[in-house]
Amino acid sequence: MTIGEKLRVKNYPLEVTYNEGTSTYLENEGGYWEIVERDEQGNIISYETSNGVIIDYEYKDGRTFFEAKRV
């Protein structure tokens, strides 16, 4: 997945790996996205929602930070 790519999947959850972190993308009705990152033990370490596209992400201090733009 590249920066700016629209987050559209028909079968979910879709597992995507960013910088040794695993993020799970789920599409709800209406195209509302939940972005959840979990650590190796399965604990949620970051959480953000967006109904747009990911335009940037940064990995620091063991966490992935997302920036999204509404479509």
DSSP lists the bridge partners of residue 67 as: 56
Examine residue 32 and state whether it is found in any structural domain, yes or no: yes
> Which residue has better confidence, 15 or 43?
43
Q: Please check the confidence at residue 2 and state whether its pLDDT lies above 50.
A: no
Q: Which of 64, 36, 68 is nearest to 50 (CA)?
A: 68
pLDDT tens-digit readout, 25-64 = 554 445 455 666 667 777 766 665 555 555 666 666 665 5
pLDDT of residue 51: 55
Query: pTM of the predicted model, to two decimals?
Result: 0.31
pLDDT of residue 16: 44
Contact status, residue 13 vs residue 64, Cβ threshold 8 Å = no
What is the span of the domain harbouring residue 33?
Answer: 14-70
Q: Rounded to 10 degrees, what is the CA torsion of 45, 47, 4, 17?
A: 30
Examine residue 43 and state whether it is found in any structural domain, yes or no: yes
Give the count of domains, the chain: 1
End-to-end CA distance of the chain: 18
Examine residue 1 and state whether it is found in any structural domain, yes or no: no
> Which residue has better confidence, 51 or 3?
51
Examine residue 44 and state whether it is found in any structural domain, yes or no: yes
Give dist(CA 20, CA 33) in Å, integer: 22
